[in-house]
Amino acid sequence: MAAPKIVVFAGSIRTGSINEKLARAAARSLAAAGAEVTHISLRDYPLPLFDAELQARDGVPDSARRLVDLFLEHQGAFVASPEYNASFTPLLKNAFDWMSRINIEGRPPLPAFKQRVFALGAVSNGALGGYRGLTQLRAMMELGLGALVLPDMVAVGNAAEAFSEDGGLTAPRTSAFLDEVVRKLVHHAGALA
């Protein structure tokens, strides 16, 4: 069986992003679990704030089309999302909103999300590790985008102590949990490969 292809990215483009650190740890774990990993930054897919008039005038921006094409080449994704006011980032919402405007002839709507499996993680300086934001992200992805989202979500609190020098997660239980979620992602994505 071909290795499942998984795209990994953070919902932050901030230099020094703690969620980008989690994306890196997840990418490493995914590669160890046998996935073919594509680690991207949303910085390379700049998008204006969604505006229906802009879409009517200019169409969907090229970055959104490139993201949809990328998702179509993969069976799954790991998304590491910061928590903003108990929700997820506008960067992520905007990217997914633009992507949701793309239809492909002969395919059902939301081609980038349906028939694909997603795992979610978050890092925050607080004790809850961004978990509240992940519940909102899950709801949007499942209810709005029709995505299959794994029930387990990797919430990493106390960010300042969360990562070791080599980029791994310092807490053995959290590190083992990330590996477990990653294995599930690879397993389910493998069934779609």
Ligand X SMILES: Cc1cc2nc3c(=O)[nH]c(=O)nc-3n(C[C@H](O)[C@H](O)[C@H](O)COP(=O)(O)O)c2cc1C
* Residues of this chain that bind ligand X (CB under 6 A): 10, 12, 14, 17-19, 82-86, 124, 126, 130
The least CB distance from residue 83 to ligand X, in Å, is: 4
Q: At how many degrees (to 10) do helices 90-100 and 62-72 cross?
A: 80
- For residue 11, give both structure tokens: 């919902």
The least CB distance from residue 16 to ligand X, in Å, is: 7
Return the number of the residue (27 or 68) whose C-beta is nearest ligand X: 27
In three-state secondary structure terms, 150 is strand
Return the number of the residue (63 or 136) whose C-beta is nearest ligand X: 136
The least CB distance from residue 34 to ligand X, in Å, is: 27
Return the number of the residue (126 or 190) whose C-beta is nearest ligand X: 126
The least CB distance from residue 113 to ligand X, in Å, is: 22
Tell which residue, 189, 183, 193, 187, has the closest CA to residue 32: 183
- For residue 111, give both structure tokens: 């081609």
What is the DSSP secondary-structure string of 37-79?
EEE--GGGS--PPP-HHHHHHH-S-HHHHHHHHHHHT-SEEEE
Return the number of the residue (76 or 130) whose C-beta is nearest ligand X: 130
